[in-house]
A and B are shown apart, each in its own frame.
Chain A
């Protein structure tokens, strides 16, 4: 009996359980898929540094998994509350028949258990299937070989899923049992006789609140997206974010009152078909859930931003490396004292990495500083104007780096950069860091003259030329002054700052490149030893930086993959939460509205019209938070790019944005459709 009843219940109310089941299923599947990444990555041929990133990523993912299970747990408790609400009458019947609360609890428990087991099994199966798709993504993300693909079942991930969701179900059951304990028969029996009090907000107040919210939002948008430079304190930032958040809630509050008024103002459309009913319903719906609509809108906003930036990060990092690391390796030894070895080639030889043996081509160039050539001299009278372009940098007293034009051109030749022409009384600037370039362009465009080593030089170009000395993973060169070869300095006027060697590996295949690369990276300790042999009397030895293209690529790939997976994980769970909460809200509203639909039928409304009304209600209900989140996103993304200082072109953003739209459409849209069809069932005619 105690088994037959719940089984029958589950089968009968399968439709009610759809949302619950769907949410659980996606939750379980997503949980498994992301925890199985480790097992998949284990089969990949990836470099040691990427492997380290995988390990780090898995640690973060397990941390996120705890958070995710809390979110899903909360969601499941919320969903089961909805199911109980729907069935109060049924419980009342059991209790009037003399069933004890314990028995009712037991029935509920068995039902939860059945749905739990069913969803866990199907979720795991879906997860195992999906994780094969995920393998392809893992392979692509880590730039590994697709040939190493094989069917992977991750036992640890499956066990983890079972344990976490087992715990979630236990918590849900405890909550349900607690709720049953608080049942009062009279409340259960009269649960559907609730008088609805329709409160109409004053339209004037609504308009004022709406305008205030729009102004607040517009101001915050303008500040974070277009006037980013003027933000000096970090707490000001928080104020803008808080303004945006508050404005979101205010908009939902006022829209609920205004929407109906707005449609009402057009008498013709308001009194067409079921329109007046539809908009009243929507108005009262939003009215009762200003807070949750606001939270959902903000969650959607965070989700979309997370997706879009995570997806764009990888491609933007890769593009940036292709731009900024055109050579296989370089090494830069900074001078600290007289003792610093002058010859970088012999240092490398002593460290066992002879450039002649391992590099097919290389150039050695030098960078200099001269005592009085600093930021103040460079910017001169334009200091104040230029300063506005560089809020976060102050380079006034910092000595400028200089390179002779012939040396720079040799380096530029290796890098495939533009060759510069600098006359005897001219100078040029090469750099690629956006902010300082804008600043440096100001004196350059005014033909600002520099006096170096007693000679007055004027700009050879009216703006900075694109260029850099070290290979790197991002546009980071703040500008090097390129001086004519004929310029000679006095004995104490010129200081050598650094020696740079850049070159390409003597290798044909990718594998050869890898092995030479690890040879260079492993020589780091030996270079340190060689340099310390040349330490000055105070014990200071020269500092060096060695970058290799493969090393930079590996960390970029790892970082890109890291961001993508974490972003996907959190984003999908947020999406599920938004969809499920909205869905449950909409369905319980539908349940409350059953008598209204019956009235509509009695006075002769067409089923088609009723369906259309429900579709519109559900659609606007889902669309409104998404719409506002979309507007938030446009400005939020601009802000995010500003903060990160990442240079991302629209072309680079587009695929990520499309992918984001696809995922949101699939999950959020899926919830919308399920809600609509479940709603249709709920209000279905009983005549």
Chain B
């Protein structure tokens, strides 16, 4: 089932005399339960795309539909409500509140939605189990490792049961072991829980965990890979091939 449809989206910066096309007529769709990775070099427009989908930024032209709702027409408090109820965010630098425990950080996402307080504990413990962080729930962020923090942040993103989870360089601040652990959890969420995930990254290894990889260059879709029946290793090799084709910038980032 189609969940997200990006339709001829354009995003321009600057004035007429010096125009930067951050997104140049991009269109694609994301199915329910897909794990999509968006790859591209710095300045390719991948973060701009994510910002437009998450309504943090507005598009210059085109439409973005989430479940038939055109989110480019939402305004003001509708935007807040949309972001709060339909989306889950995972950031590169975790963005956990340092004054709250892991449990409270996760619970906050529920209480912001004004969910029934009686259910809070149940929901939090459930996602904590899925992400393997039950034993750090009572700890503060400064008492946790980076990998634990990112898994707490992921728990916060999915606890509200969002339509789609948007992750911006989720492994950017993690060591390779923690990154692997986190990505395996993402896979579990995607396969077992059915969470739709869209992840922006410039790291081929990270992207290889996805079921589908979209490459962006200069604001346009450059190529697309589907995992199909391939193993992760096979997909990784394919990604490397594309990255080599993409040239310069991305290979620098490897």
Contact = CB atoms under 8 A, between A and B. Distances in A.
B238 interface: no
Contacts of A268: 117-118
B140 A267 contact: no
A596 B110 contact: no
A687 to B, nearest CB: 6
A284 B99 contact: yes
Interface string B64-89: 00000000000001001001110101
B11 to A, nearest CB: 16
Contacts of A605: 84, 112
A596 B84 contact: no
B98 A596 contact: yes
Given A197-B142, A604-B84, A596 B99 contact: yes
Contacts of B39: none
A280 B104 CA distance: 10
A207 interface: no
B242 interface: no
A687 B56 contact: yes
Interface in A543-584: none
A596 B108 CA distance: 13
B142 A274 contact: no
B60 interface: no
Nearest to B84: A604
B111 A281 contact: no
B118 A276 contact: no
A604 to B, nearest CB: 3
A272 interface: yes
A485 interface: no
A276 B95 contact: no
Contact of A198 (B89, B140, B156): B140
A276 B107 contact: yes
Contact of A274 (B83, B87, B91, B108): B108
B142 A198 contact: yes
A603 B112 contact: yes
A606 B79 CA distance: 10
B80 A604 contact: yes
B95 A599 contact: yes
B120 interface: yes
A273 B112 contact: yes
Contacts of A276: 100, 104, 107-108, 111
Interface string A263-282: 00001110111111100110
A602 B114 contact: no
Contacts of B104: 276, 280
Nearest to B157: A603
Interface in B18-37: none
A357 to B, nearest CB: 85
A195 B142 contact: yes
A274 B111 contact: yes
Nearest to A608: B77
A196 B98 contact: yes
B108 A603 contact: yes
Nearest to A281: B99
A271 B111 contact: yes
B112 A599 contact: no
B98 A198 contact: yes
Interface string A599-621: 11011111101000000000000
Given A195-B142, A267-B120, A604-B80, A277 B89 contact: no
Interface residues of B, number: 31
B109 interface: yes
- Residue of B111, B118, B142 with most chain A CB atoms under a 10 A cut-off: B111
B59 interface: no
B117 A272 contact: yes
A361 to B, nearest CB: 79
Nearest to A267: B117
Contacts, number: 82
Range, interface on chain A: 20 to 34
Contacts of B98: 195-196, 198, 596
Contacts of B111: 271-276
Contact of B110 (A267, A271, A602): A271
A606 B80 contact: yes
B120 A274 contact: no
A599 B141 CA distance: 14
B97 interface: yes
A602 B51 CA distance: 11
Interface string B116-156: 01101100000000000000000010100000000000001
A361 B156 CA distance: 92
A603 B109 contact: yes
Contacts of A277: 97, 99-100, 108
B96 interface: yes
B120 A271 contact: yes
B100 to A, nearest CB: 6
A596 B156 CA distance: 15
A196 B96 CA distance: 12
A602 B118 contact: no
A596 B56 contact: no
B156 A603 contact: yes
Given A195-B142, A197-B142, A198-B140, A602 B100 contact: no
Contacts of A273: 111-112, 114
A373 to B, nearest CB: 77
B76 to A, nearest CB: 10
Interface in B154-179: 156
Contacts of A197: 142
A607 B80 CA distance: 9
Interface string B178-203: 00000000000000000000000000
Contacts of B80: 604, 606-607
Interface string A348-381: 0000000000000000000000000000000000
A606 B114 CA distance: 11
A196 B99 contact: yes
A280 B99 contact: yes
Contacts of B120: 267, 271
A602 B95 contact: yes
Nearest to B82: A604
Contacts of A607: 80
Contacts of B108: 274, 276-277, 603
Nearest to B86: A604
Contacts of B140: 198
Nearest to B104: A276
A603 B80 CA distance: 9
A272 B118 CA distance: 10
B169 to A, nearest CB: 14
A202 to B, nearest CB: 15
Contacts of B85: 604
A284 B140 CA distance: 14
A214 B110 CA distance: 38
A168 B99 CA distance: 39
Contacts of A606: 77, 80, 84, 112
Contacts of A274: 108, 111-112
A605 B89 CA distance: 13
Interface string A256-298: 0000000000011101111111001100100000000000000
13 contacts: A198-B98, A272-B117, A274-B112, A275-B111, A276-B100, A602-B95, A603-B89, A603-B95, A604-B84, A604-B113, A606-B84, A606-B112, A609-B112
Given A273-B112, A277-B97, A606-B77, 19 more contacts: A195-B98, A196-B99, A198-B99, A198-B142, A267-B121, A268-B118, A271-B117, A273-B111, A276-B104, A276-B108, A280-B100, A281-B99, A598-B95, A602-B91, A603-B108, A604-B83, A604-B84, A604-B112, A606-B80
Interface of B: 56, 77, 80, 83-85, 87, 89, 91, 95-100, 104, 107-114, 117-118, 120-121, 140, 142, 156
CB-based closest 3 A-B pairs: A604-B84, A280-B99, A268-B117
